[in-house]
Chain A
């Protein structure tokens, strides 16, 4: 027996066979029609449309047999595959190739075979259309041609199937293409949207930048930024105007060259003392009094500046200074001070007159007075003295507000100041039979303080305690050192301050309701003055109070004392 031969282009052949997608599909009427026709036409029992797979023959259509497939090696169709036009075996038993074929000597006992190769649309032989009989037959040329026609018909059907498959797959492809096109369109739209968003963002950024630039331009203060190498990074228009240099000239240059800072005598401040040195160490400096800038043309003007470090990711990368020319402000200050000086003089002169003449009358310089005359003159004198005190307080307040008061520190023994102020209030203390206890720590060092300001503070604490404690009351004064500060405590058991008014105690002209009725003489300025002084010198004041139980004031003075303050005016201290 000869096995069915494998054609040379078996690989392509198989490829074509698989592409036809016919293998292992359901039987179809249009193919069954052909095999049926073949059996009728040739009066044979069996006809199959066989597809030759790698190792098997598989029947797409089989008429007359039940099998669906068989082994390729022993198949007749396998042989017919390579036939030129048709393979006819009139008697299998007489054919050397087949006489001992299992299908000949066993079921189904085939004695006659005729088969025509079926070509796929690409020309590959994918199968065979065949007829079989169990007895030997003659098969004439015209019958062979008929079989060939039938195979053509089978090919057409396969093709049309191919075509409809192709059409389907083409439709599927087309559908896929449509989807793909849609996806592309979506992608394009998305890309366009992203582009638009980017564009919008770009415009926003440009707008923001323009805004920032406009802001920087229109900031009414000069702004100069300096990098770590002390070079000028940027400056705004106002800075250009103020300093007289253009940004072009200044940017990139060393700040020491072009940004000259001097004291009021025109002497340049040494580099290490400049505020920017401190800013580079991380401090923010507000210098609003003692500095002058020198313009490009050499002229000098007073300046108020704030210098702060620029920090990026915890590193100091530069320093920015904001400043403005305060020539006008200083002029206004001078004008204010002149006004106050004049006002003080003008107010005090008539008061002096009233005081002195009243005193001379009371001293008997014009002759003996009646009791009534004495009493009335006393009233005038008291009123006049109160007025004088008020004028002094008002002057102090004005000077404190302007900030031009002088601090002239000297070595001061605080305890002596207390003793002096207690002596001054002696009359009132005696008159009210007040019990004063003092607890002064003698180890307290003398502090550097302005004697005038210190007296004002101490006097205020004592006179308040005396004023606002009723007859036979008690005042306890304590002076202690605590670390770097001196703590002064003045505690009385007097009228106290109502809780709902305690937050106003340090405001100007404030007098609590409970004492206004008892004593109309206070000005309401004392504590405001004291607090302002303490704020300015680095000290502090606080209190605790309960209505009708008493008040305790605590004042903290830094041991390092008051810094010398140039100012222009001393505060008024009244005996």
Chain B
């Protein structure tokens, strides 16, 4: 961990993790925290939307297949919000549903990562990159 990264992290970066699988959510929280990020968690889309609009994190890691409201639905609603229209979103999924991807292109710009194909440290790198771009 570099000092400058820590400094940057400490100032601003809160990551909202919306993921219904507890094991994966816990892993992400652990890793991101270890890398110096602050984290927020939600276990479904409905809660995730509420927390997002309420807490206004700096980036959202979003799963798709979730109970109550799935990720793309949440994303679509998020984008209708003035603040929500611009927040960086990385979709983390284990589906390669390209048709859903096309559908979700209406959900504005976002990254699409297949969890089982990515190392967790690479996910963290991606988070950093997106945050850098957003600045």
Contact = CB atoms under 8 A, between A and B. Distances in A.
The answer to whether A and B come from one shared complex is yes
Contact of A348 (B23, B27, B94, B119): B94
A348 B115 contact: yes
A353 B23 contact: yes
Interface residues of B, number: 24
Contact of A569 (B21, B30, B96, B115): B96
Interface in B70-114: 94-99, 101, 114
A569 B117 contact: no
B99 A341 contact: no
B27 A388 contact: no
A375 to B, nearest CB: 19
Interface residues of A, number: 28
B27 to A, nearest CB: 4
A339 interface: no
B98 A569 contact: yes
B96 A355 contact: no
A569 B96 CA distance: 7
B96 A359 contact: no
Contacts of A345: 65, 94-95
Given A344-B94, A349-B21, A353-B21, A359 B116 contact: no
Contacts, number: 70
Contact of A365 (B34, B101, B114): B34
Interface string B21-50: 101100110110010000000000000000
A396 to B, nearest CB: 10
Contacts of B24: 349, 352-353, 356
A388 B116 contact: yes
B95 A356 contact: no
A107 interface: no
A345 B118 CA distance: 15
A388 B115 CA distance: 10
B94 A349 contact: yes
Interface string A333-374: 000000001001100110111011101100101000000000
Contacts of B34: 365
B121 A355 contact: no
A360 B96 contact: no
Contacts of B30: 360, 365
B134 interface: no
A568 interface: yes
A187 to B, nearest CB: 81
A284 to B, nearest CB: 31
A570 B115 contact: no
Q: By CB atoms of chain A within 10 A, which of B23, B28, B31, B119 has the most?
A: B119
A570 B119 CA distance: 22
Given A349-B21, A575-B117, A356 B27 contact: yes
Contacts of A254: none
Nearest to B101: A570
A572 interface: yes
B94 A356 contact: no
Contact of B120 (A355, A391, A570, A575): A355
A274 interface: no
B116 A352 contact: yes
Nearest to A568: B99
Contacts of B95: 341, 344-345
A206 to B, nearest CB: 56
Contacts of B118: 575
Contacts of B101: 570
B108 to A, nearest CB: 20
A353 to B, nearest CB: 5
B73 to A, nearest CB: 16
A569 B98 CA distance: 6
A23 B121 CA distance: 140
A156 interface: no
A313 B65 CA distance: 61
Q: By CB atoms of chain A within 10 A, which of B31, B95, B101 has the most?
A: B95
Contacts of B31: 356, 360, 365
Contacts of A356: 24, 27-28, 31, 119-120
B71 to A, nearest CB: 12
A355 B114 CA distance: 13
A167 interface: no
Contacts of A121: none
A78 B106 CA distance: 140
Nearest to B27: A356
A571 B118 CA distance: 17
Nearest to A395: B96
A420 B103 CA distance: 29
Q: Which 6 A-B pairs have the closest CB atoms?
A: A570-B98, A348-B94, A348-B116, A356-B120, A352-B115, A356-B27
Interface of A: 341, 344-345, 348-349, 351-353, 355-357, 359-360, 363, 365, 388, 391-392, 395, 406, 408, 568-572, 574-575
28 contacts: A341-B95, A344-B96, A345-B94, A348-B94, A348-B115, A349-B21, A349-B94, A349-B116, A351-B116, A352-B24, A352-B94, A353-B21, A355-B119, A355-B120, A359-B121, A360-B27, A360-B31, A363-B121, A365-B30, A388-B116, A388-B117, A391-B116, A392-B117, A406-B98, A570-B98, A570-B101, A575-B117, A575-B118
Interface of B: 21, 23-24, 27-28, 30-31, 34, 65, 94-99, 101, 114-121
Given A356-B119, A392-B117, A569-B96, 17 more contacts: A344-B94, A348-B116, A351-B116, A353-B21, A353-B23, A353-B27, A356-B28, A360-B120, A365-B30, A365-B34, A388-B116, A388-B117, A406-B98, A406-B99, A569-B97, A571-B96, A575-B118
